[in-house]
Structures are given as structure tokens and as C-alpha cells.
Chains A and B, each alone.
Chain A
Amino acid sequence: MSTPATRRKPPRVGDQPLFRRLLIGIVLVLVAFLILAPLIIIGVEAFAKGWQVYRDTITHPDTRHAIMLTVLAALVAVPVNTAFGIAAAWAITKFDFRGKRFLLVVIEIPFSVSPIVAGVAYLFVYGLQGVFGPMLDEYGIKILFAIPGIILASMFVTAPFVARELIPLMQAQGRDLEEAATSLGASGWRTFFSVTLPNIKWALLYGVVLCNARVMGEFGAVSVVSGNIRGQTNTLPLHIELLYHDYQAAGAFASASILALIAVFTIIAKVALERQGAGRVHSPATRPSLVANTAEKTS
């Protein structure tokens, strides 16, 4: 932090300590008001009526079911979207084909469409008055107002998350390594698992974490297709809304604190994994051995 040492180059904008502190200060204030304050309020309000009310809320069967349902939705939606995201990113960045741009646009649609529109669209497709609804009803298959509908809606909303993380990275990495592997005789799957996957795993992990967080927090689309049945189709975010509308502020915040806790744990897990991975990536032995390994086994 000694100033003379950095004096070698002409001073740039933002180099003055006052200016730098001001910028950092603004960021800190914004973080405090926009992110920390609401988080703290969740914690404070959750315990506003005491530990007993908090415990009663989170051990209530409806709350427990809401938590389980939210976790179930994530357990299905995240792996499916991860597989989809990898496949889409691989196709788009490693191959040339007609309609590639179109595919890119299609993948991005859930980002730009409001979740509530997605929910209503599902109503028109699978609802009793919709396209497939009457047929599904005849066979006794329930999609809307049941768990499949909730998972489908969550999947739609989070479809682009993994692909959007991977595509820029894979584009930057180019195709050289894959082409080398293929020319040495590796099969497509072999190339993917031994060459591509190790290179993208941190971006992939980040995408999975984001996707998971979004699935668990999804409100709009799920709200339309869930039917809001307590203890059956109420996810945690819907449960929070229900409690809040019912003047159960303490209960609502207690449930919200669970959602916030899950989010915080996801982030901690991500950071921990990242740290472990960062060490490995930077150790000089990893990268060469990776390529050597591939060549060795395929020869």
C-alpha cells in the first residue's frame, strides 16, 4: 500500500485515496441497505415472538412439507437443467450447424419472459381448457396443481442458468483441445468427460448453484400452477406468502429464514468447493497430466 511504489505510472482516475475510499464507501453503504438490512430483518423478525414460535413454525407439518417440496423441486429441476445446459452449451460452442443462433435465442427466452407469463402459458397448455389438458385428464394424469406442474414451471424458469454460465467460457476456450482429443482417437463421451468437463467444472458448478438458488426461490410461475394446497403443493416461497397474508409475520419470517439459510449454505458450499478446486487448478501438475492422461489412455 505504499504510494511511492505505485507512482511509476501516471496516476489514473480513482487512484487518489479520497476518491477510492468514497467509492468503497458508496458500495458498502449500498450493500448494507440493499442486502444486509433485509437479511438482518429476516433474522430479527423471525425471532420477534420468541424461540418457541419460531420452533413451532418450522416444525409445523405444513412448513416441513413446504421445505421438502422445495428441495424435491430442486432435486429434479437442477440435474435436468444441468444436463440440458451442458448439452446445449456443448452443441453451441463446439459445433457448427444451421439454426445455432435461433437455439441461442430460444435458450434465453426464460430469462426475458416474466415467470408469471410462463405460469399462465402452462395453464393454457396443460389446463383443462388448454391444449393437452382434456386428454391428460382422460388418462388421469395430473400435471397442473400437482407436483409435476411445480417442477415443470421451475425447470422452465431456470433452464438458461447453466447454459448461460458455460457458453461464454467454452467459446473462449475454443475447440483446440477437443479437436486434439478426437484426432488422437477419443470417442465423443471420452472427449467430454476427460477434456471438456475438467475445463468447465467451476463455471458449471457456479451455474448449478445459481440454478438451485433460483429453483428454490421461484415464486411467480409456481404460484400460478401450484393450486396453493397447504401441505401438498405449497412450496416454501408460497408458504411464506400465505403466512404473511394471514398476519403471521413471525411465522412468515421464520419460514423466510429457512429459505435464506438454504441460500447461505449453498453459497458456502460453492465457496468451499471453489477453494478446493482453485488449489488443484493452480498446482502445476494438474493441467499437463490431464492432457497426458488423455493421450496415454487413448493410444
Chain B
Amino acid sequence: MNRLFILGTALVAPLAALFVTPALAQQPNKLLNASYDVARELFVAENEAFTKLNPGVTIDQSHAGTSKQARSIVEGLEADVVTFNQSTDVDFLAKNGFVSKDWTKAFPNNASPFYSFPSFLVRAGNPKNIKDWADLARDDVHAVFPNPKTSGNARYTYLAAYAWAKEAYKDDEEKIEAYITKIFDNVPVFDTGGRAATTTFVERETGDVLITFEAETRGIAKQYGADKVQAVTPSVSLLAEFPVAVVDKVAKKHGTEALAKSYLDFLYSEEGQRIAAQFGHRANNEKVAAEFKGQFPEIRLVKVDDVFGGWQKIQSEHFASGGTLDKLYGSR
């Protein structure tokens, strides 16, 4: 019987302990920032700077694909703020009542403190002389990017190429589609995500040019060395925003609304912008942008709203099943 008692206690005690701990109250000097999956280092630096200015505050970080993050928040992940790389995922939160409907107006620049765009990474020395979007349709050029059906990153690539073609071929649908089909035909392998595509390009040495966010190309060059890869900036690309928002429902519950707002404001401050620029993002703050001018080549950026008439329209025309992407991707 004694043995039974010990066994029983050993099993029940840890379980009981578990359900008691979550009762710990949330302090109002603590924030949880739900962010996208490759932003760990950026927010380590941003949070360190912010907590230095606000002693006693802790910022916890959660990182994953932003669609997954949005889903998790709706299911109960108590994030006070979101810093995403896809505005449709913040829209999803707004639709479910976690973020205010006019979240894009709550902070400057469409609630996007910094920005980036699809850019090129080629092998060192640029042996195939790849300069712009037109080169991607050359017979001897094989581009590498993930499957646009599964990767948000590759959707931007697809849209940026489409936007360039729209200008270059003066809205001639047939020519635009022929161009996109040509690029798709030349892609040696479609990985499911951005990280896998990087591995394909750099480690398996497949393809001639990797297309991904400019901010990403820096991390890749840093990881693998400038003797292997180099960044090339095309003449034009599509603006990719990094939307931020206070998750009102959670912040209200935690009593962290003011802190959450000041945290996001910090991302717009000179110091916050400088840190973002150090991690390869383009700053909106003019002073910081001027400081980093040498590192960021000039580029003309077009906006999703101007070229495609908004994400809603893109979703129904391009990405819905049977849409333009299916047609072009399926033709390969």
C-alpha cells in the first residue's frame, strides 16, 4: 500500500503543480510581441534598447509564420502587440475583433515602421550578369524562390515580377503571362518556404539567382560569406511592409495598452529605426535613411494598392484557386 501511495503522489504532484502556476497574475510592465519567423535577432536588439529606456519592463517574443501567429492569437495566445510581415494577417485579427478595424491609421506609414522588397541574391561576381527582372526570363538563368502556393515570401516575388512586367509590357496580359510562365519554367525546384529555398540556392548550389526580401539577403550574405553570394538590387520592386498593431483585446485584459503603444512608437523612433536598418530593413525616418544611404542602393518601389488595387483584389484574382497564379503555375 505504501508503494501505491508513493507512486500516486509521484504522478499527481507534478500535474497539480502545473495547473497552479498559470494562475500567476500578468504584470502590466510585461509585453508579449508576436512576430514573424525570421525576426528573432532584430527584436533581440530592439527590445534591449527599449528596456534600457524603460527599466523594469520585459518584452517576451514569440516567433513563427505570421498566419500561424494570427491563428494562435485568435485561439488564445495572449500577445499584446503584433509585428508581422503580412498585412493580411493583421486584417485577420481585425476581422476577429482582436485589433481595431482602422489599425493601419493607428501608426504612421500605414502602421509599417520599416519596409523591404523582393530583391536578388546572385553568386559572387554575378557570373550570369543578372541586373533586373527582365534577366529572369533569359534561357540561361534559373531563378530560385519557394512555391508561391505555400510561401508568403514567394507571393511577393510573384507580385513584384508581375508588377514589373505590367509596366514593361504596358498591361499586355498575354506578354505578362508569357514572361511569368518563362520564369516559372526555369525554376529548378520549388521549396515550401524561404529558408528551404536559401538552402537550395546556397548549400546545394542550385540556380543562378535567389529572390527574397532585401532584408533577408543581408542575413544570408552574413551567414555564408561575401565570397559566395552578393546582393543585386533591381530597378523597381514591390513595397513589402512590416505592419504593427496593438492587440487591443489582450492589452485591455493585461492593462498594457499604454506600454504597448509606447513600444510600437519606439520602433518609429530614431533609435528603433537605426536598429532596423542595421538588420537590413529600410528605415522610414529620413535622418536614419540618410545615414544608411551607402548601404542601400536607390530603388523605385511600387505599392500593392496602386498596381493591383489592394490585397483583397489580389486574393480573388491571383491567389484564389483557379486564379492567375494557378493558371501560370499549373502550365509548367
Q: Interface residues, chain A, CB within 8 Å of chain B?
A: 75-76, 79-80, 83, 123, 126-130, 133, 137, 140-142, 144-148, 151, 189, 193, 223, 227-233, 242-249
| Of B15, B21, B78, B220, the contact of A76 (CB 8 Å cutoff) | B15
Of chain A, the residue at the smallest CB distance from B98 is A128
Contact string, B2-39, partner A, CB cutoff 8 A, digits 1/0? 01100100110011001101110000000010000110
Question: A230 contacts B77, CB within 8 Å?
Answer: no
Nearest Cβ in chain A — how far from B92, in angstroms?
13
Chain A residues near B3 (CB-CB < 8 A): 193
| Other 13 A-B pairs with CB < 8 A, given A128-B76, A189-B4, A244-B195 | A126-B76, A127-B74, A127-B76, A147-B21, A227-B77, A230-B60, A230-B63, A242-B37, A243-B40, A246-B40, A247-B220, A247-B222, A247-B223
Contact with A along B117-134 (1 / 0, CB 8 A): 000000000000000000
* In the complex, chain B residues whose CB is within 8 Å of the CB of A228: 62-64
**Which residues in A have their C-beta under 8 angstroms from that of B18?**
76, 147-148, 151
Chain B: CB-nearest residue to A80: B11
How would residues 217 to 245 of chain B score, 1 for a CB under 8 Å from any chain A CB and 0 otherwise?
00110110000000000000000000000
Whether B174 is near chain A, meaning CB under 8 Å from some CB there, is no
CA distance A296 to B64 in the complex (A): 62
Nearest-CB residue, chain A, relative to B18: A148
Which residues of chain A are within 8 angstroms of B77 by Cβ–Cβ distance?
144-145, 227
B41 at the interface (CB under 8 A from A): yes
Cα A16 to Cα B295 in complex, Å, equals: 69
29 contacts between A and B (CB under 8 A): A79-B10, A79-B14, A80-B11, A83-B7, A83-B11, A123-B71, A123-B75, A127-B75, A127-B76, A128-B76, A129-B74, A130-B75, A140-B23, A141-B19, A141-B23, A142-B76, A144-B75, A146-B22, A193-B3, A229-B60, A229-B61, A229-B62, A230-B40, A232-B60, A242-B40, A245-B195, A246-B38, A246-B40, A249-B223
- Asked if B72 is at the interface of the complex by the 8 Å CB criterion, the answer is yes
A residues less than 8 Å from B71 (CB atoms): 123
Chain B residues with CB under 8 Å of A144's CB are 75-77
Residues in chain A near residue B11, CB distance under 8 A: 79-80, 83
Q: Are B14 and A227 in contact (CB under 8 A)?
A: no
Q: A145-B72, A245-B38 are in contact. Are A80 and B62 (CB under 8 A)?
A: no
Which 5 pairs of residues, A with B, have the shortest CB-CB distance?
A: A127-B75, A128-B76, A247-B223, A145-B77, A142-B22
The interface residues of chain B lying within 8 Å CB-to-CB of A243 are: 40
B37 and chain A: residue at smallest CB distance: A245
The closest CB in chain B to the CB of A145 belongs to B77
In chain B, what residue has the closest Cβ to A246?
B40
Q: Which of B4, B22, B38, B76 contacts A133 (CB 8 A)?
A: B76
A80-B195 in contact (CB<8A): no
A242 to B23, CA, bound (A): 28
Which A residues are in CB contact (< 8 Å) with B220?
247
**Distance in angstroms between the alpha carbons of A245 and B7 in the assembled complex:** 42
The interface residues of chain A lying within 8 Å CB-to-CB of B64 are: 223, 228
Assess whether A145 is in contact with B223, with CB atoms less than 8 Å apart.
no
Which residue of chain A has the shortest Cβ distance to B39 in the bound complex? A246
Chain B contacts for A130, CB-based, 8 A:
75
Q: Is the CB of A75 within 8 A of B38?
A: no
Q: How far is the CA of A126 from the CA of B63 in the complex (A)?
A: 21
> Once the chains bind, are A246 and B41 in contact (CB under 8 Å)?
yes
**A228 CB → nearest B CB, Å:** 5
Chain B residues with Cβ below 8 Å from A146 are 22
Contact, CB under 8 Å: A231 / B78: no
Smallest beta-carbon distance B155→chain A, Å:
18
Q: Which residues of B contact A242 (CB under 8 A)?
A: 37, 40, 63
Q: In the complex, what's the smallest C-beta–C-beta distance from B26 to chain A, in angstroms?
A: 10
- A145, A148, A223: the one contacting B78 at CB < 8 Å is A145
Residues of B within 8 A of A193 (CB): 3
Task: Tell me the complex Cα distance, A245–B14, Å.
Answer: 33
* Chain B stretch 183-202: residues in CB contact (< 8 A) with chain A: 195
- The answer to whether A76 and B60 touch (CB under 8 A), given A147-B21, A246-B40, is no
CB B66 to nearest CB in A, in angstroms, measures 12
- Highest count of chain B CB atoms <10 Å: which of A80, A146, A231, A245: A245
Cα(A146)–Cα(B18), bound, Å: 10
Q: Let me know if A148 and B22 touch, CB within 8 A.
A: yes
**Which residues of B have CB within 8 Å of A233?**
62
Q: Which residues of B contact A127 (CB under 8 A)?
A: 74-76
Chain B contacts for A145, CB-based, 8 A = 72, 75-78
Given contacts A142-B22, A228-B64, whether A247 and B219 have CB atoms under 8 Å apart is yes
Which chain A positions have C-beta within 8 A of B4? 189
- Closest B residue to A139 using CB positions: B23
Q: Which residues of A contact B60 (CB under 8 A)?
A: 229-232
* Whole-angstrom CA separation of A133 from B74 in the bound complex: 11
> Of B37, B40, B41, B75, which contacts A129 at CB under 8 A?
B75
Q: How far is the CA of A142 from the CA of B64 in the complex (A)?
A: 20
